[in-house]
Amino acid sequence: MMKFFYAVIFLFSLSSWAKPTDQLIILTTFTVESLQPLLKQFKQQYPEVHFTILHRRETSGLRLLSHEDHDIDIVISSSRSLFTPLVEEDRLLPLNALNFDTTFQQQRFMQDSIANVAIFGYSGYGLMWNKDYLAKHKLPLPNKWESLADPRYFRHLVMSSPARSGTTHIMVENILQHYGWKNGWKLLLQIGGNLSSVSARSYGAKDTIARGLAGIGPIIDSYAYESQKLFPFINFTYQPKSPLIPSYVAAVKNINQARRSIEFIEFLLSEDIQQNLLASSLNKYALNQTMAQPFKITAIDHQLMEERSILVKQLFEQTINRQLIRLNQAWQLLHKVKQLSHLTSEELRQYNLAIRLASTPPLSEAQSRNPQLRNAITMSRTDMYTVRMLKEWRTLMSEQLDQAISICEKLLESHEHRGIN
């Protein structure tokens, strides 16, 4: 009898605990400020709803979602990998009841569409620059990734790290897929040699350019448009042969389910929101809207990107972000040596060696394909295997850059002693 009594009490408590709530908890990689006007508009339709916004980077967002007792109702992000484990583990609410054109989304965004995840807008990325800064420093206008390797841009560039920005990760991965592993990292390391800083956040790069602390940087268009609304000296151009970046939204299953989760997704897909999405605080293109600056769109291999996601992020951290001073020094000296005339065949050989040392990551393409390595590397600071591997990469890259610097210094010193320019 007592067992039956406790069972009834337990079931009663569970049903009370699982009661739908009016608290809508949103996990997003977007800024809180960009979402608030839309949330205010939604609340006008559903006054009983209260919002809690959790702004997180992709990595910390994935950690939150991995907890079985989380209360997250909605996920909004341009990071596709944030949704992948939720789809694989069947942790999303079905969107069958919503009247939105899934066929259109699949045709427009190809493999970017995911089951039970709605695309409500999209972006592109490119180069943003401060016109006043470029005029002050007599710098040419940038037009594509390759132009950022120009020695005239030395310490005039800024970008965020793919480990901290999902959109920057897409940019870096697109370079690696377009140019290949070897040439892609060569270009990234050359650009790294011109960086004045690596921003902790993608909107930090935008703010650095707007404040005139740097001149140029790769930026998602929504941040560029946001800056252009405030500052007339900001300009932007899309990167050719780059992918579209959809804005995803999904409703997550949890014990304390918010009763308006599906209605919120329906709201984002509504005609009223879609018509005003580009002019809104989100600065996103609506699904049926054409870009102001059309460019050739290249699809990205999402499976490859996700398989080596952590590896690429950590490699960027160890070879560019953690090596910025050495990278600057090495490429500044390499550019100086390039200006020398009458290099002997041996000096030319040494110069080419220095270029290879400064533009080769401490991990070959064959090594990057190793599934054991990909699975073993984490974003944890306490995982001993990861700590050891990162130290090896960092040490090897430091040694390569030091050797490149030494070679260049000797070449410059030799020519100075011989009186040759």
pLDDT tens by residue, 19-53: 678 899 999 999 999 999 999 999 999 999 999 99
Query: Is the Cα torsion angle 295, 301, 305, 306 positive or negative in sign?
Result: positive
Indicate whether 72 and 25 sit together in one domain.
Answer: yes
Indicate whether 315 and 356 sit together in one domain.
Answer: yes
* pLDDT surpassing 90 at residue 268: yes
Indicate whether 119 and 129 sit together in one domain.
Answer: no
User: Looking at 10-19, 166-175, 360-369, which range is the least confident one?
Assistant: 10-19
Indicate whether 266 and 186 sit together in one domain.
Answer: no
Mean pLDDT, to the nearest integer, of 336-359? 95
CA dist 320 and 314 (Å) reads 10
* pLDDT surpassing 50 at residue 256: yes
Indicate whether 165 and 213 sit together in one domain.
Answer: yes
Indicate whether 163 and 114 sit together in one domain.
Answer: no
The size of the chain, in residues, is 421
* Contact present, 281 and 36 (Cβ < 8 Å): yes
Question: Does 174 map to a domain?
Answer: yes
Task: List phi, psi (to 5°) of 57.
Answer: -75, 165
Q: Output the DSSP codes for 301-340.
A: -HHHHHHTHHHHHHHHHHHTGGGHHHHHHHHHHHHHHHT-
Indicate whether 78 and 155 sit together in one domain.
Answer: no
pLDDT at residue 132, as a whole number: 98
Question: Does 56 map to a domain?
Answer: yes
Mean pLDDT, to the nearest integer, of 186-191? 98
Question: Does 345 map to a domain?
Answer: yes
Question: Does 6 map to a domain?
Answer: no
Indicate whether 129 and 166 sit together in one domain.
Answer: yes
Question: Does 193 map to a domain?
Answer: yes
* pLDDT surpassing 70 at residue 2: no
Mean pLDDT, to the nearest integer, of 218-225? 94
* pLDDT surpassing 80 at residue 321: yes
Question: Does 107 map to a domain?
Answer: yes
User: Looking at 199-203, 238-242, 245-249, 354-358, which range is the least confident one?
Assistant: 199-203
Indicate whether 156 and 222 sit together in one domain.
Answer: yes
pLDDT at residue 103, as a whole number: 54
* Contact present, 231 and 366 (Cβ < 8 Å): no
Indicate whether 135 and 32 sit together in one domain.
Answer: no
Indicate whether 119 and 33 sit together in one domain.
Answer: yes
CA dist 315 and 350 (Å) reads 26
Among residues 162, 203, 209, which one has the least CA distance to residue 184?
162
* Contact present, 65 and 27 (Cβ < 8 Å): yes
* Contact present, 367 and 373 (Cβ < 8 Å): yes
* pLDDT surpassing 50 at residue 255: yes
Q: How confident is the model at residue 104 (pLDDT cuts 50, 70, 90)?
A: low
Indicate whether 119 and 253 sit together in one domain.
Answer: yes
Number of domains in the chain: 3
* Contact present, 144 and 175 (Cβ < 8 Å): no
Task: Check which CATH number belongs to the domain holding 260 and give it.
Answer: 3.40.190.10
Q: How confident is the model at residue 108 (pLDDT cuts 50, 70, 90)?
A: low
Of 220, 242, 264, which residue sits at a domain end? 242
Question: Does 49 map to a domain?
Answer: yes
Of 253, 275, 297, which residue sits at a domain end? 275
Torsion of CA 41, 46, 48, 54, to 10 degrees: -50
Question: Does 295 map to a domain?
Answer: no
Query: pLDDT tens digit string along 275-290?
Result: 999 999 999 999 888 8
Q: Domain limits at 141?
A: 125-242
Mean pLDDT, to the nearest integer, of 104-117? 69
